[in-house]
Amino acid sequence: MEGETLTQMAYKSKAIILDIEGTITSIDFIREIVFPYAESHLEDFIMNNWKEVREIGLLLQQQSVDSKGNSGDVIPLPQVPSTENIDEIQNFQRALVSYVKQRMNANRNDPSMKKIQGLVLRNAFRSGDIIAEIYPDAVKALETWSLENKQVFTYSTGIRDVQIEFFKNTNFGNKAQFIKAFFDTSIGSKLEIEGYKFICDFAKVDPSEVVFFSDRPLEIAAAKKCGLRAIVVPHKPTDHPSSYRPISLTNACGKLMEKMITNRLNYFFETHKKISDFQAGFRNTIEQAAFLLQSIKDGFHSQKSTLTIYVDFKSVLTILFGLRNLSKKWQIWESAGVCTNGSNPSCARDKQRLNAIRPFLNSSN
């Protein structure tokens, strides 16, 4: 099982469970297009869709009663008007806008916010205001799995109705037919095993025959704990800083201090003749390069070869390997009859260099 590719794992499975954000669509698309749309159209939706807003209001009111005492600093949910009085309805709608916006700022996954957001987004995808952007390789995978008669499910924090509209309105057309069923976190958190177990039971397959794809390692861990096979999908935007790990963490002060210490040490070593004239390390690179070039030129004019051995202690094995390659190169030329009479100047030079480093090669074997 270890080392299997995403394709191999999927091929051996009977069912596939797909995360959506960061797995089949980019995180940037969700956070820079979808969420801002929902936020900017929230008020308009609440003020113009009384029937649906009232239903959600009643549902939230019930949840608010059930979780009384756990609301913290959250402003109270306004009371849903029991009459059709237009003033009461508008007061409730305005209060609901403030309530949802406050919950939205406090927690993007807040259930009350998710429900309203879901309705706004469902309309957005349905009307074509937003076209769902899914990865081309995700489309290919869906088509392949369909031909292989695999059951494919989604499992996302986005509510089910939005997922359906999302798949119906993608940049590759309607792809909802490839998904057997859409699941959201009403069946359980994606960081717990219950939701994965629920989907396996629904599909009537053993968890070991199901593969879960996600971009979040914590979700992968939960799926594996349930007995599924799971793999992190390596979708990372190349233009986003979070896709890269920093290499150097030295700050400006540290670099300045390093430069000052190096200069002082160099001054001490040079003035006290502590370093051989032939040593390049700990010295100004430009000066050493000039020194080497001059040696090569001098050797060229006096018809001598110049041999330089670079020893970088961090990668000394690479250097030794390179020297051995010179030995092999010579053997190949010699066996091919290219360098037998020494008339080839290049061969002659290489033979001379090879003889010079042969003791070193022998000792390093």
Binding segment (CB under 5 A) for Mg ion, from list 22-30, 38-46, 51-59, 198-206: 22-30
Q: What is the DSSP string of 276-326?
A: -TT--TTS-HHHHHHHHHHHHHHHHHTT---------TTSHHHHHHHHHHH
Can you tell me which of 21, 165, 184, 350 binds Mg ion, judged by CB under 5 A?
21
Toward Mg ion, which CB reaches closer, 184 or 215? 215
Can you tell me which of 16, 17, 22, 26 binds Mg ion, judged by CB under 5 A?
22
158 forms part of the interface with Mg ion (CB under 5 A)? no
Can you tell me which of 165, 184, 215, 350 binds Mg ion, judged by CB under 5 A?
215
The span from the CA of 79 to the CA of 66, in Å, is 15
Binding segment (CB under 5 A) for Mg ion, from list 13-21, 28-36, 274-282, 356-364: 13-21
195 forms part of the interface with Mg ion (CB under 5 A)? no
Q: What single-letter DSSP state applies at residue 151?
A: E
The span from the CA of 10 to the CA of 45, in Å, is 41
Minimum Å gap between C-beta 76 and Mg ion is 33
Output the CA–CA distances (angstroms, integers) from residue 149 to 3, 5, 175, in the order listed.
Answer: 25, 20, 15
Minimum Å gap between C-beta 25 and Mg ion is 9
Minimum Å gap between C-beta 216 and Mg ion is 5
Closest-CB residue for Mg ion? 22
Toward Mg ion, which CB reaches closer, 19 or 350? 19
Q: Is 216 helix (H, G, I), strand (E, B) or coil?
A: coil
Give the list of residues 6+ apart from residue 209 with CB closer than 8 angstroms, or none. 13, 14, 15
Find, among 218, 219, 213, the residue nearest to 234 by Cα: 213
Q: How many residues bind Mg ion (CB under 5 A)?
A: 4
Backbone angles phi, psi at 22, to 5 degrees: 85, -5
Binding segment (CB under 5 A) for Mg ion, from list 144-152, 214-222, 247-255, 264-272: 214-222
184 forms part of the interface with Mg ion (CB under 5 A)? no
- Binding stretches for Mg ion (CB under 5 A): 19, 21-22, 215
